[in-house]
Amino acid sequence: MFYCMNRQKTWHCIGGAALAVIIFTAGVMLKPENSPPAVSASNHEWGLSFQEENQPPVPNLTAEELAPYNAYYYYPKQQKRLYLTFDAGYENGNMPAILDALKKHNAPAAFFVVGPYIKENPDLVKRMAAEGHVVGNHTWHHPNMTQKSQQEFEQELKRVEELYQQTVGSPMQRFYRPPEGKFSEENLTWAKSMGYRTVFWSLAYVDWNTDAQPSKEKAFEKLLPRTHDGAIVLLHSTSTTNAAIMDELLTKWEEMGYTFGNVQELGQ
């Protein structure tokens, strides 16, 4: 049985060991080139198609199509390697447990934060940086960036950079995650011109609904069979399930032979 949810004309269907995402929005696909193709008005929402057990999913844009923009959704250069990422829109008390588990396992992660998160949680952001994690840019307001001009796009990212610099005392590393996975070729081009690597994902589950958190068993059922080499894992730091299972989840991945890489490796 599949569980399906309609989000912005996109049906996300999750069931068994597979994730199916059916995109109804039409758009021109990116063309793989040695350099970014001409910018068009085509907009996209990141989506993944049916996935076989422990194999990477098929995305709506391939790794080859994303590569000219320094954009990635998985990175299989090393076998048995995972890249842990967390989206952090606000703090509800779960981040310390997540950080504790990552520290216990010596596992680096990337935390994609919005501007207000830094403003309201400076000590947690400092801890992320001090413990070797990447603090990435998830924009200031978390808007649909496909609706922004280039000036507005750049300002959304620069405001976060400036506050991070003031808070931590060092420059923000240039990793960007589009809010809600919505992007255009223009967005990818602008992000690259600002020195950013755009980070999508190849492994996720329904962990963002704080009013309907999955059980530990359900989380493992969704994540473990779909784990694959080079996976960029998307998790949400607001999930009480993630906070509760993180130590055990990392242990299970290690028992499967996986190690944890830093997103700084992407493209290297």
Annotated catalytic residue, options 12, 44, 228, 236:
236
Does residue 12 carry a catalytic annotation? no
Annotated catalytic residue, options 87, 133, 207, 228:
87
Does residue 236 carry a catalytic annotation? yes
Compute CA distances 41 → 13, 68, 155, 244, whole Å. Answer: 28, 18, 20, 42
What residues act catalytically? Answer: 87, 236
